[in-house]
Structure 1
Amino acid sequence: MLVAFATESQTHIDAHFGLAPAFALYDITPEAITSKGIVYCPQEFAPDADKEDKVENRMQILRGCAVAYCTSIGGPAAARLVQSGIHPLKVPEGTAIEDELKRLQTLLAGSPPPWLRKRLQQEKMMKED
């Protein structure tokens, strides 16, 4: 399962979804965690930058991810992520990416919550096709 973390430091979840300069990507299974690298976001510095474009750019970067961790995310952006099949999760700023990876791996190996179980079943079906 592909997971993204909004990050400035590349070691902690320390960015708002819409302002994140980068996302750290990891493939995670109950048996292994594999880094897929850091993906940098285009910087929309213009004061009149379209917020819709910013969200769309990030959704394109995160295509294929099951979960996107961030410190904060606006309601419309969260709804768009969910519609595209990405589950946004807010965590306290400064949460270590490594800690969340281990926590998620433990969930995968045990009894995942319903939303995660559904996503895992979808991914399993896609692999079988």
Structure 2
Amino acid sequence: MGMERRLKVLSMNDGATAMETDTRVKAAFASSDMKHIDQHFGAAESFVVYVIDPREQHLLEAIQFARLEMDGNEDKLAAKISALEGCDVVYCEAVGASAVSQLRAKGIQPIKVGAGTSVSGLIRDLQRELRDGPSAWLARALAGRDPGRNRRFDAMEAEGWSE
């Protein structure tokens, strides 16, 4: 089972935005109307994906899948997880244990929210968190983008530095 449609928003002028790359988050939302969370991850028919920084948000893409039953079929997860590659977080009404482990293995944090939660409200919450200080999962996501970040300590130790 693959995706049916994928609409990707391309900027005409990539330099026009001043998004802060070190605090930018790519977030997916399981939403049929692009406004509210209303789908279980495994049975989601669509996701809307935004790139978000402390001050701005931009619609990146909308992804649609064929209608599926929530039958425990693991095959449906692979296409969804693949489509969300590069995302830091996915918000949904519910998510099964298998999907959670597969998403986390790809560096995507699944977050369960109440049915009808607004996408715009979640974006504002993420922006506030990016400005005021990230939660544990968000701090890990941001730090995980720069695996060489802690190499400086290895270099200091090689030079003879110690505590």
The TM-score, its normalising length taken from structure 2, stands at 0.70
Aligned to 1:9: 33
Deviation at 1:32, TM superposition (A): 1.0
The Cα of 1:50 is off from its aligned counterpart by: 7.5
Overall identity of the aligned pairs, in %:
32
Equivalent position SS for 2:34? coil
- Counterpart in the other structure of 2:98: 76
In the TM superposition, residue 122 of structure 1 has moved relative to its aligned partner by 2.2
Q: Which runs of 5+ in 1 are unaligned?
A: none
CA distance in 1, matches of 2:142, 2:28: 16
Residue 82 of structure 2 corresponds to which residue in structure 1?
Answer: 60
Contact 1:14–1:71, Cα closer than 8 Å, also in 2: yes
The one of 119, 126, 141 aligned to 1:97: 119
Q: Write the distance in 2 (CA, Å) between the matches of 1:37 and 1:20.
A: 15
CA distance in 2: counterparts of 1:118 and 1:21, whole angstroms: 29
Structure 2, gaps ≥5 residues long = 1-24, 150-163
Aligned to 2:132: 110
Equivalent pairs, count: 124
Match of 1:23 in 2: 47
Q: Which has the larger radius of gyration?
A: 2
Shift of 1:53: 1.4
What is the identity, as a one-letter code, of the residue corresponding to 1:85?
G
Higher relative contact order (CA 8 A, sep 6+): 1
CA distance in structure 1 between the aligned counterparts of 2:105 and 2:84, rounded to whole angstroms: 13
The CA RMSD over aligned residues, in Å, is: 2.0
Contact 1:12/1:96, CA 8 A, preserved across alignment? yes
